[in-house]
Amino acid sequence: MVSLQKETLRIPLVSELMIPSEKVAHVQISNPLEHALLVLVKSGYSAVPVLDPSYTFQGVISKTRILEETIGIEEFEMNRLSEIMVKEVMDDQVPCLTKEQTMIDALHKLIDHPFVCVTNEKGEFDGIVTRRTILKQFSKHYHETLKYTMLETT
Ligand code: AMP
Protein backbone atom coordinates (compact mmCIF):
# COMPACT_ATOMS: atom_id res chain seq x y z
CA MET A 1 0.00 0.00 0.00
CA VAL A 2 2.73 2.43 1.03
CA SER A 3 4.85 1.53 -2.04
CA LEU A 4 1.84 2.28 -4.26
CA GLN A 5 1.61 5.73 -2.66
CA LYS A 6 5.34 6.27 -3.22
CA GLU A 7 4.95 5.41 -6.91
CA THR A 8 2.18 8.02 -7.12
CA LEU A 9 4.57 10.58 -5.61
CA ARG A 10 7.33 9.85 -8.17
CA ILE A 11 8.26 12.99 -10.12
CA PRO A 12 7.35 12.41 -13.80
CA LEU A 13 9.84 12.82 -16.63
CA VAL A 14 9.38 15.30 -19.48
CA SER A 15 8.90 12.29 -21.83
CA GLU A 16 5.79 11.32 -19.85
CA LEU A 17 4.31 14.82 -19.90
CA MET A 18 5.03 16.12 -23.39
CA ILE A 19 2.68 16.43 -26.34
CA PRO A 20 4.54 14.44 -29.06
CA SER A 21 5.73 16.27 -32.17
CA GLU A 22 3.14 14.64 -34.47
CA LYS A 23 0.35 16.32 -32.46
CA VAL A 24 1.99 19.77 -32.34
CA ALA A 25 1.09 22.48 -34.88
CA HIS A 26 4.27 24.07 -36.26
CA VAL A 27 5.54 26.26 -39.11
CA GLN A 28 8.67 26.07 -41.24
CA ILE A 29 11.44 28.65 -40.92
CA SER A 30 11.12 29.69 -44.60
CA ASN A 31 7.32 30.15 -44.52
CA PRO A 32 6.04 33.70 -45.09
CA LEU A 33 4.32 35.38 -42.13
CA GLU A 34 0.92 35.04 -43.82
CA HIS A 35 1.17 31.23 -43.60
CA ALA A 36 2.25 31.41 -39.94
CA LEU A 37 -0.68 33.72 -39.15
CA LEU A 38 -3.06 31.31 -40.86
CA VAL A 39 -1.74 28.38 -38.76
CA LEU A 40 -1.98 30.45 -35.56
CA VAL A 41 -5.51 31.71 -36.23
CA LYS A 42 -6.84 28.32 -37.43
CA SER A 43 -5.27 26.40 -34.52
CA GLY A 44 -6.30 28.99 -31.92
CA TYR A 45 -2.79 29.01 -30.39
CA SER A 46 -1.00 32.23 -29.57
CA ALA A 47 2.41 30.81 -30.54
CA VAL A 48 3.80 27.67 -32.22
CA PRO A 49 7.28 26.13 -32.72
CA VAL A 50 9.34 26.88 -35.84
CA LEU A 51 11.25 23.98 -37.46
CA ASP A 52 13.62 23.64 -40.41
CA PRO A 53 13.12 21.03 -43.19
CA SER A 54 15.07 18.41 -41.17
CA TYR A 55 12.77 18.94 -38.16
CA THR A 56 15.42 20.76 -36.14
CA PHE A 57 13.94 23.24 -33.67
CA GLN A 58 14.65 26.89 -34.61
CA GLY A 59 12.44 29.09 -32.42
CA VAL A 60 8.89 30.21 -31.69
CA ILE A 61 6.58 32.46 -33.71
CA SER A 62 3.69 34.28 -32.02
CA LYS A 63 0.66 36.32 -33.10
CA THR A 64 2.06 39.23 -31.08
CA ARG A 65 5.37 39.25 -33.00
CA ILE A 66 3.52 39.11 -36.33
CA LEU A 67 1.21 41.98 -35.34
CA GLU A 68 4.15 44.09 -34.15
CA GLU A 69 5.84 43.50 -37.50
CA THR A 70 2.82 44.48 -39.58
CA ILE A 71 1.73 47.60 -37.70
CA GLY A 72 3.12 50.60 -39.59
CA ILE A 73 3.20 54.22 -38.44
CA GLU A 74 -0.49 54.81 -39.22
CA GLU A 75 -2.04 51.54 -40.40
CA PHE A 76 -1.64 47.78 -40.76
CA GLU A 77 0.70 46.99 -43.64
CA MET A 78 -0.86 43.69 -44.70
CA ASN A 79 1.38 43.34 -47.75
CA ARG A 80 4.30 42.79 -45.35
CA LEU A 81 2.77 39.44 -44.39
CA SER A 82 3.82 37.91 -47.71
CA GLU A 83 7.16 39.70 -47.87
CA ILE A 84 8.60 38.76 -44.48
CA MET A 85 9.70 35.21 -43.62
CA VAL A 86 9.14 33.50 -40.27
CA LYS A 87 12.91 33.33 -39.59
CA GLU A 88 13.16 37.16 -39.62
CA VAL A 89 10.57 37.60 -36.88
CA MET A 90 10.63 34.45 -34.70
CA ASP A 91 12.06 34.39 -31.19
CA ASP A 92 15.13 32.15 -31.30
CA GLN A 93 16.22 32.79 -27.70
CA VAL A 94 13.86 30.36 -26.00
CA PRO A 95 14.72 27.65 -23.48
CA CYS A 96 14.30 23.95 -24.36
CA LEU A 97 13.98 20.71 -22.42
CA THR A 98 15.13 17.15 -23.10
CA LYS A 99 12.95 14.07 -22.61
CA GLU A 100 15.16 12.87 -19.72
CA GLN A 101 14.55 16.00 -17.59
CA THR A 102 11.87 16.09 -14.90
CA MET A 103 8.64 17.94 -14.22
CA ILE A 104 10.59 20.26 -11.88
CA ASP A 105 12.93 21.35 -14.73
CA ALA A 106 9.83 21.95 -16.88
CA LEU A 107 8.15 23.94 -14.10
CA HIS A 108 11.09 26.37 -13.82
CA LYS A 109 11.06 27.09 -17.55
CA LEU A 110 7.27 27.34 -17.77
CA ILE A 111 7.20 30.21 -15.25
CA ASP A 112 8.14 32.59 -18.09
CA HIS A 113 6.73 30.70 -21.11
CA PRO A 114 3.28 29.19 -21.85
CA PHE A 115 5.01 26.17 -23.44
CA VAL A 116 8.56 24.85 -23.76
CA CYS A 117 9.90 22.77 -26.65
CA VAL A 118 11.54 19.38 -26.15
CA THR A 119 14.55 18.54 -28.33
CA ASN A 120 17.08 15.69 -28.58
CA GLU A 121 20.88 16.00 -28.47
CA LYS A 122 20.92 16.94 -32.19
CA GLY A 123 18.36 19.71 -31.66
CA GLU A 124 15.61 17.74 -33.40
CA PHE A 125 12.09 18.54 -32.27
CA ASP A 126 10.43 15.92 -30.02
CA GLY A 127 7.37 17.83 -28.77
CA ILE A 128 6.24 20.43 -26.22
CA VAL A 129 5.36 20.64 -22.54
CA THR A 130 2.61 23.15 -21.75
CA ARG A 131 1.82 25.16 -18.63
CA ARG A 132 -1.62 23.49 -18.52
CA THR A 133 -0.09 19.98 -18.34
CA ILE A 134 2.27 21.01 -15.53
CA LEU A 135 -0.49 22.74 -13.56
CA LYS A 136 -2.65 19.60 -13.85
CA GLN A 137 0.28 17.44 -12.67
CA PHE A 138 0.99 19.74 -9.74
CA SER A 139 -2.64 19.73 -8.71
CA LYS A 140 -2.62 15.89 -8.81
CA HIS A 141 0.74 15.74 -7.00
CA TYR A 142 -0.45 18.18 -4.32
CA HIS A 143 -3.61 16.19 -3.59
CA GLU A 144 -1.74 12.86 -3.53
CA THR A 145 0.89 14.31 -1.15
CA LEU A 146 -1.85 15.61 1.11
CA LYS A 147 -3.56 12.20 1.13
CA TYR A 148 -0.24 10.43 1.79
CA THR A 149 0.69 12.82 4.62
CA MET A 150 -2.71 12.30 6.25
CA LEU A 151 -2.38 8.49 5.95
CA GLU A 152 1.10 8.62 7.55
CA THR A 153 -0.08 10.69 10.51
CA THR A 154 -3.16 8.59 11.29
P1 AMP B 1 -1.96 25.44 -22.77
O2 AMP B 1 -1.13 25.45 -21.52
O3 AMP B 1 -2.58 24.11 -23.14
O4 AMP B 1 -2.93 26.58 -22.82
O5 AMP B 1 -0.95 25.72 -24.00
C6 AMP B 1 -0.11 26.84 -23.94
C7 AMP B 1 0.40 27.16 -25.34
O8 AMP B 1 1.11 26.02 -25.83
C9 AMP B 1 -0.65 27.44 -26.39
O10 AMP B 1 -1.09 28.78 -26.39
C11 AMP B 1 0.13 27.17 -27.67
O12 AMP B 1 0.97 28.27 -27.96
C13 AMP B 1 0.99 25.98 -27.25
N14 AMP B 1 0.35 24.71 -27.62
C15 AMP B 1 -0.41 23.89 -26.84
N16 AMP B 1 -0.80 22.78 -27.53
C17 AMP B 1 -0.26 22.89 -28.77
C18 AMP B 1 -0.30 22.08 -29.96
N19 AMP B 1 -0.95 20.92 -30.02
N20 AMP B 1 0.35 22.53 -31.07
C21 AMP B 1 1.03 23.71 -31.04
N22 AMP B 1 1.11 24.52 -29.95
C23 AMP B 1 0.46 24.12 -28.83
Kindly report, residue by residue over 37-96, the tens digit of the pLDDT.
Answer: 999 999 999 999 999 999 999 999 999 999 999 987 677 788 889 999 999 999 999 999
Residue nearest to atom 3 of ligand 1 (CA): 132
pLDDT of residue 145: 83
Q: How far apart are CA 106 and CA 29, in angstroms?
A: 25
Q: How far from 101 is each of 105, 111, 118, CA to CA, in Å?
A: 6, 16, 10
pLDDT of residue 97: 98
CA of 117 to the centre of ligand 1 (A): 10
Question: The whole model's pTM is what?
Answer: 0.89
Q: Is 66 in the pocket of ligand 1 (CB under 6 A)?
A: no
Q: How far apart are CA 116 and CA 71, in angstroms?
A: 28
The residue range of the domain holding 29 is 2-153
| pLDDT reading at 103 higher than 60 | yes
pLDDT of residue 141: 81
Task: Write the CATH number for 32.
Answer: 3.10.580.10
Domain count, the chain: 1
The residues facing 59 across adjacent strands are: 50
More confident residue, 101 or 6: 101
Q: Is 39 in the pocket of ligand 1 (CB under 6 A)?
A: no
Plot region of 45 (φ>0 → left; ψ -120 to 50 → alpha; else → beta): beta
Residue nearest to atom 17 of ligand 1 (CA): 24
Q: How far apart are CA 148 and CA 154, in angstroms?
A: 10
CA of 153 to the centre of ligand 1 (A): 40
